[in-house]
Amino acid sequence: MALNPDTIYAQYGAIGLVAALSVWAVRIMYARLLAAYEREKDRADRLEEELRKLNEMIRTDYVNTISRASSAMSDANRAIADALAAVRRMQ
C-alpha cells in the first residue's frame, strides 16, 4: 500500500494543511528560481558572445591602426633619410 503525501498531511488537520501548502509553495519558488537561473544563464551566454565579437572588432581595429602607424613611420624615416642625403649632396 503506497502512501500518498496528501493523505498523510490531511490526517493531521490544520498542521497537515500548512505543511501541504508549504511544500506547494517551496515547489513553486524552486520552479521560479530555476527559471530565473536559466534566463540569467542565457543572458550571460548572449552577453559573452557580444563581448567576444566586440573584442574581435577592437583587436582588428588595433591591428589596422598599428599597421598604418608603422607604414607612416617607415615613410617618415625614408623622407628623413632622403632629406639628409640631399643636405649632404649640397655641402
What is the pLDDT at residue 39?
98
* C-alpha gyration radius of the chain: 37
17 near 25, Cβ under 8 Å? no
Residues 6+ apart with CB under 8 A from 5: 20, 23
pLDDT band at 9 (very low <50, low <70, confident <90, very high): low
Pick from 60, 38, 58: which is nearest to 50 by CA? 58
What does the pLDDT look like over 11-23, one tens digit per residue? Answer: 777 787 788 889 9
Question: Which pTM does this prediction carry?
Answer: 0.55
| pLDDT tens digit sequence for 49-67 | 999 999 999 999 999 999 9
